[in-house]
Amino acid sequence: MGLRPNLLTRRTAGVASTTLALLLSTAAVGVVPAASAFSAAPSGSCAEPADSHSNARVAKGGHAKLDPNELTAKQVRDREADLAAALRERANFRAGAAATPLATVTIPVVVHVIQRDSTRAGGNIPDSMVTQQISVLNTAYSGGTGGAATAFSFQLTKVHHVTNAAWYPIVEGSSAERQMKSSLREGGKNTLNLYLGELSDDLLGWATFPQRKLNSMDGVVALSESLPGGTATNYNQGDTGTHEVGHWLNLYHTFQGGCSGSGDSVSDTPAEASPAFECPTGRDTCTATGKDPITNFMDYTYDSCMYQFTAGQASRMLTAWNAYRAA
């Protein structure tokens, strides 16, 4: 997965996903390839700390090297230092204001459906898919699929259909992505802006980590056909959304850092040398205790295979919320 930050791509082995991948590749022809687009991003993006990079989800296939959501060790160190600094700031603020950290959080969600035209092939998914995606998030983050309950619930406040061929597909790291987000983003740091559409480079999605100062790039991008009932075979139960929102709430991949060091900065996710794809049995890539956390939402397995966050991840997300996104 190289040095790119957190991306999730689609596996291209299945017939249906191969078709989709081909469609994607065709759509991307004539558009700046993601790698070039990334390096050519406006200086504002490169001048900011690692958290300005987005976190993507990729499927197994030939495109993983373009995954934008994976972090280098230095980027992780910088982010952890920033989190500590943000927490110190908040603690000082709270000491004066006698405020208490939040224990439960309802996140307003603004959804932007990016379309080329009014057809389904042109990105016009039904609103029912969006409401089902919100249900998937609420079930996952409440522990309803078998993992730890987190503090978070999600409330859909708006579905905004936007027809603009210049933003379709959404090309990760491009000036068009920047323009799209600066035109459409709504709300404060606590508002989740979810952009749906066809994506560049067979990606399933990407997200930004929280930052102390709100940036118009803040938000989650997901393949519209990854929503429940979509056409992205093996990735159409809505867990791309679950995974990307995890990044938006400050989670790293379970395979961050491999077998050594602090890994994903969460103590109860066993270390994992590399991403797991599909749904492997008994995978154990590090000598440290515990098999690979292939059922964790922050790995790269099939939607049907991932169903949990850990208590440590829930705690990390809430800590980050109170540091970065709480009012």
Query: Which residues are catalytically annotated?
Result: 244
Cβ distance to Zn ion smaller for residue 55 or 322:
55
Residue among 11, 57, 63, 112 that touches Zn ion (CB under 5 A): 57
Q: Which stretch binds Zn ion (CB under 5 A): 22-30, 48-56, 211-219, 271-279?
A: 48-56
For Zn ion, give the closer residue by CB, 205 or 230.
Answer: 205
Query: Largest Cα–Cα distance of the chain, in whole Å?
Result: 60
CA-nearest of 4, 320, 323 to 150 is 320
Compute the least distance from the CB of residue 122 to Zn ion, in Å.
27
Query: Could you count the other beta carbons within 10 Å of the beta carbon of residue 316?
Result: 24
Comparing CB distances to Zn ion, the nearer of 55 and 211 is 55
Q: Which stretch binds Zn ion (CB under 5 A): 49-57, 80-88, 227-235, 266-274?
A: 49-57
Which residue number, 69 or 150, has a Cβ lying nearer to Zn ion?
A: 69
Q: Does 250 bind Zn ion (CB under 5 A)?
A: no
- Residue 55 in the binding site for Zn ion (CB under 5 A): yes
Q: Does 193 contact Zn ion by CB under 5 A?
A: no
User: For residues 285 and 7, what is the distance between their CA atoms, to the nearest angstrom?
Assistant: 21
Provide the minimum distance between the beta carbon of 240 and Zn ion in the complex, in angstroms, as a whole number: 9
CA-to-CA distance for 161 and 215, rounded, in angstroms?
Answer: 22
CA distance 202 to 14: 13
Binding Zn ion by CB under 5 A: which of 1, 4, 5, 6? 6
208 touches Zn ion by CB under 5 A = no
Told to check if 174 binds Zn ion by CB under 5 A, we report no
Residue 154 or 255: which CB sits closer to Zn ion? Answer: 255
Using CB under 5 A, pick the residue from 17, 69, 242, 296 that binds Zn ion.
Answer: 69
Q: With binding defined as CB under 5 A, does residue 301 bind Zn ion?
A: no
Contact window for Zn ion (CB under 5 A) among 47-55, 94-102, 259-267, 268-276: 47-55
Residues that bind Zn ion (CB under 5 A): 6, 8, 55, 57, 69
